[in-house]
Amino acid sequence: MITPPLGMNLFTIKGVVPNASMGEIIRGSLPFVVLMTLGMLLVLLFPQIALVLPESMINAQ
């Protein structure tokens, strides 16, 4: 919802702050995009991160 070019939240922020340019809004969203990318890379490299809870549910039975 925040990645350009079709980030709906970017357009919502543009509506709330009409004097800000779309470039400024996109640059403001970049730290969040970087963090989401790092999170996806962590799960890709270490899939056990995402599987800890399901495995603990199976082992609890």
pLDDT per residue as tens digits for the range 17-37 = 999 999 999 899 999 999 999
Instruction: Say how far apart CA 50 and CA 60 lie, in whole Å.
Output: 17
Q: Tell me if 40 sits within 8 A of 34, measured CB to CB.
A: no
What pLDDT is recorded for position 59? 79
Q: Where are the alpha helices (DSSP H) in 3-60?
A: 8-16, 22-45, 48-60
What pLDDT is recorded for position 4? 67
Average pLDDT over residues 25-50: 93
What pTM does this model have? 0.72
Map tokens 């999170």 to a residue: 39
Instruction: Say how far apart CA 41 and CA 49 lie, in whole Å.
Output: 11
What pLDDT is recorded for position 41? 97
Instruction: Say how far apart CA 26 and CA 13 lie, in whole Å.
Output: 10
Q: Domain-by-domain residue ranges, the chain?
A: 8-60
Q: Is the pLDDT of residue 10 over 70?
A: yes
